[in-house]
Structure 1
Amino acid sequence: METTFVIQKTQKKQKLSEKEDISGNIKSLGSLPEEVLRHILSFLPTKDAVRTSVLSKRWEFLWVSIPNLSFERYTSDKSKFVETELLMNFVDRALCLRDSSVIKRFALSCDVLFDHEASRVYTCISTAVNHNVQELNIDIDIRGFDVVFSLPSCLFTCKTLTSLYLNMWARKLNLPTTICFSNLKILTIEYLTFSNEYLTQQLFSSLPVLEELKLEDCSWGDLKFVTISAPKLHSLSIFKMGMQDGDIQRSGDLCLVTIVGDSLKEFYYKGLMFAEYCLYNSFSVEKAEIVTKPEYDRKPTNIARFLWNLLIGLSGVELLRLSSDMVKVLSDSPEFLPHMPMFNNLIDLIIVDYRVDLDCTVLLKILQKSPCLQTLSFSEGISLSLNRKEDDMILDPVPLCFLSHLKWINIGTYFGLEEELLAVKILLKNAVVLDKINITCPASYDKNFDRQVKVLTQLLELPRTSQNCKIRALTV
């Protein structure tokens, strides 16, 4: 059945009034209730929302009460930089004309180079707080500002604030003497240096309902001890990728950070290991990730000790993602091996970043300590040194999970090398209840049929202890 659409030609300059209908059925946008119009405007960039004031008299002041305000140092296409003076003039006008309605979300991104710019930023943040702001995003580059910059003290006692993002680009965070975030649920702090031990401790002890905490490239400076204690904290992420400038002195990060995780479910650590983190009462953690690299200007035993302490605190996890670098650092410090905790709840173990050696002592120890492991993944592949070719004692004793629970093995970046094939052979030989092993080959193998056949034939010829095991080779 064929359907034909007929498009009728209309006048080129047809103008719709606010009361006119489109096609006699759908009312024009201008006739919608003001509350709905403000909701629609809240999805636009603030600059575009302001521009709607020229549409008609009814639209002239609609934007002054929209719930979301965002002021960025860059234009919408990110191609041009907006001078702070011009940006702050726009911010001042928007806040000056605003009525008393609540600001749901307020975002400000700008540079501060002079005293008068710092003063204007301070004032606009105070104004947002006075409008019972709920979500506040502050991204202030003060690297060129030589005078101490402080945020308004009213921010740290704001009762309506539920989400706070704070980035002051590698400068010290000056905290007020009174801190109480009574309703803050999400806190993200980036590129800051903590300078006062007492006030920093007060900050991380004044978060009674906090659920998510993210610290990215922050420095503990000269602090020696900090405790993060938030009774409802659900997710903690710490990223330490390294600064692009010298504002944060890496050598100053020798702090012991204790995390009281009564309600903690997720823990993520990515980057360089500068400080020591200890998880206390963290039996509730279900998902954890430690992806770190060795620091060659630090003692390997110190890094290994930091990592062991983290593993001990994560003994109750169900999903654990570790970097191959971390596994190697721990293997190079065998004195900690006897202290490996039991991972009785661990179901999924994932090794990322680089290909790992099946003969790695820490990997084998974790497998021995994970009796309920069901899925074992090597995202960048696995191998075994050819000098162990005749050694059948790699998995001796065979981990309990290999005999009763291990169902899936995933191996990424498989080239079909002899040392890779040997590792797969040992896994298949010892995994008694294995259902499936997924092996991923490089995408280039799609164009090399002979290579595909060779790799697949080698895999299929390997002996399997589990009669139900299926070998699945694919390319990405």
Structure 2
Amino acid sequence: METTSLIQKPQKQQKLNEEHDVDGNSKCLSNLPEEVLLDILSLLPTKDAIRTSVLSKRWDYLWASIPNLVFEQSLPAKRTLLMNFVDRALCLRDSSDIKRFTLCCDVLCDASRVNTWISAVVRHNVQELCIELDNFEGVFSLPYCLFTCKTLTSLHLEMPYMLKLPTTICFSNLKILTICKVTFLDEYLTQQLFSGLPVLEKFTLFGCSWGGLKSVSISAPKLHSLCIIETEMLDDDFWSYSDVCQVMIAGDSLKEFYYMGLLCSDYCLYKSFSLENVVIDINEDYISDHDYIPKEITHGMYKLLIGLSNVKSLRLSSDVVEVLINAEELLPHIPIFNNLIDLVFHGCSIDLDSATLLKILQNSPCLERLQFLGGFNLPFNYEEEDTILDTVPPCFLSHLKWIGVNSFRVNKKFLSALRIFLNKAIVLENIVIFFLGNDLEGNLERQDEACEQLMELPTGPQNCKIVLKWYEWPKTCEIVLQ
């Protein structure tokens, strides 16, 4: 087997234990307990930890017990060196357990070699495993022993291939699972994977493809955080709803849910009674580039929202509002968000006369905080303020205490929008305006002008404050107006 210079020892070495302090006492690093030395080595890059074998005889194979191993291919030209390095490091490994193992490399024709390494790591009772593989053609089969590993608590699997799963899957101690760019092939085996996670707490699917699967269920009983990010774009000429996978998510313990994509699959949440924080982010590029949004996307959004009825904090991209506008016949079916306290819109500005916005606000009777990170817009005839939010949402009369908005400037249209909230949100306590850019930074004249304009607004609810905030390095500045 070819060896590398990383593990070769020079003929002459300088021993650390030859150093002494000013009192003549030995300052020998090698006299430290082995557990301490291993902790020190585990903080070094793996190749540097192995190089410490040149320090003294005690350090010859100390590196063979370090709990954390990281092997990452930096350049294609370095691949052979890395492969031989991994071979030797695992071959000379003692019987001690491996806590964390990371492998990032091109596979090419060495699939069996890579699987041999993974099997060896599993035999060393690995706890945290990160595998990122590239440059392989065909279906990839990971070793079966990986899928029944009893010591594994965290698994990160990234490979842009079709993944062949074994018939027996049980991660009895796996709490964190991240799967990236994988194409799932078999509906039954994929379901076996998602059902073999009895203690899973955090699950991330990034850029994965269901590969023609019709339905799958994610139902880990202890799952409290789920993140799904779709990276594929829809092709207008080949959109077919019959090819979409129906993904059912059972959220008995689910507290956090994050989705970003274009609803290329149909996601439905049920039993989501414990939901606290949800973020829905629709692909902005697709929405802005197309005049027509397929009805399947709109219907998929409504189905997704139905499963979020118990959420406490909800963050929606502005494109979610745009998607929902395209099917006004479904507006009556937006669920009641009885537990929703905090609602945030991000992305572009939100039209205050939007029927979707009004429906969401009407269906959030206990809403206390409302924020527009992208700002808000008024229609062309904004002078007719009474027609905007004309049906006052119940939360405006009983619960809404805080409104936040990002803005670049104070102008007539912006002031009209603030006036609407001051007139209709009768229990409001704070309106916070976050100024972006450098319009107010270090400009006392501009700050005074903005304050004067805001002071002309009606007093609004008793004790309601208007707060201006902007950033001046290294702190955030604010002015509070009564």
TM-score normalized by the length of structure 2: 0.88
For these two proteins, the number of residue pairs brought into alignment is 450
Per the alignment, residue 231 of structure 1 pairs with 221
**Alpha-carbon distance between aligned partners in 2 of 1:24 and 1:430, rounded to the nearest angstrom:** 80
- Offset at 1:414? 3.6
- 5+ residue gaps, structure 1: 1-13, 75-79
Match of 2:371 in 1: 377
1:83 partner SS: helix
Residue 178 of structure 2 aligns with an amino acid whose one-letter code is: T
Give CA deviations for 1:309-351 in whole Å, capped at 9, x if unaligned. Answer: 1111111111100000001110221111101111111111000
- SS of 2:139's equivalent in the other structure is coil
Write the letter of the residue equivalent to 2:39.
H
CA, structure 1 residues 469+140, in 2 after alignment: closer, same or farther (shift >3 Å)? same
Aligned residue in 1 for 2:83: 88
Measure the CA separation in 1 of the matches of 2:298 and 2:134: 35
The farther-off stretch of 427-436 and 449-458 is 449-458
Query: What does residue range 25-424 of structure 1 map to in structure 2 within 5 Å?
Result: 27-74=27-74, 80=75, 83-114=78-109, 117-142=110-135, 145-169=136-160, 171-242=161-232, 254-293=244-283, 296=290, 299-424=293-418
Change in Cα spacing, 1:197 to 1:428, as seen in structure 2 (3 Å) is same
Q: Which amino acid aligns with 1:430?
A: K
C-alpha separation between the residues in 1 aligned to 2:292 and 2:38?
55
**1:358, distance to aligned residue in structure 2 (A):** 1.0
Deviations 1:7-28 (A, max 9, x none): xxxxxxx985268557678954
Q: What CA distance in whole angstroms lies between the structure 1 residues aligned with 2:207 and 2:84?
A: 31
More deviation, 305-314/259-268: 305-314
Instruction: Provide, for residues 394-417 of structure 1, a one-character-per-residue CA deviation record: whole Å limited to 9, x for no partner.
Output: 223322211222111110124223
Which residue number in structure 1 is paired with residue 422 of structure 2? 428
Contact 2:17 2:29 in 1 (8 A): no
Partner of 1:438: 432
CA distance 1:16–1:57, shift in 2 (3 Å): closer
Distance 1:23 1:89 in 2: 46
Letter in 2 for 1:132: N
State the identity as a percent: 59
Contact 1:84 1:112 in 2 (8 A): no
Given that 1:18 and 1:31 are in contact with CA atoms closer than 8 Å, whether structure 2 keeps it comes out as: no
Q: Equivalent residue of 1:149, what SS?
A: strand
Contact 2:15 2:55 (8 Å CA) reproduced: no
Q: Aligned equivalents of 1:349 and 1:28: distance in 2?
A: 59
The amino acid that maps onto 1:338 is P
Q: Which residue of 2 aligns with 1:457?
A: 452
Q: Kindly indicate whether the alpha-carbon contact (under 8 Å) linking 2:250 and 2:269 is maintained by their aligned counterparts in 1.
A: yes
Gapped regions of structure 2 (runs ≥ 5): 1-13, 472-482
**Contact residue 373 and residue 405 of structure 1 kept, 8 A:** yes
Report how far residue 272 of structure 1 moved: 2.5
How far is 1:227 from its partner?
0.5
Aligned partner of residue 188 in structure 1, secondary structure = strand
Instruction: Tell me the SS of whatever aligns to 1:311.
Output: helix
Query: Tell me, what secondary structure is at the counterpart of 1:58?
Result: helix
Instruction: Give, as a single letter, the amino acid of the residue that structure 2 aligns with 1:340.
Output: I
| Alpha-carbon distance in structure 1 between the residues aligned to 2:454 and 2:379 | 18
Distance 1:414 1:433, change over 3 A: farther
Contact 1:283 1:313 in 2 (8 A): no
Instruction: Report if aligned partners of 1:190, 1:218 keep a CA contact under 8 Å in 2.
Output: yes
TM-score by length of structure 1 reads 0.89
**In the alignment, structure 1 residue 469 sits paired with structure 2 residue 464:** yes
Q: Distance in 1 between matches of 2:355 and 2:70?
A: 52
Give the superposition deviation at 1:81. 5.1
- Mapped to 2, the partners of 1:204 and 1:291 lie a distance apart of 24
Using the alignment, how far apart are the partners of 2:175 and 2:30 within structure 1?
A: 37
Contact 1:73 1:82 in 2 (8 A): no
Tell whether the 8 Å contact from 2:280 to 2:315 is kept in structure 1 after alignment.
yes
Preserved contact between residue 414 and residue 420 of structure 1 (Cα < 8 Å) = no
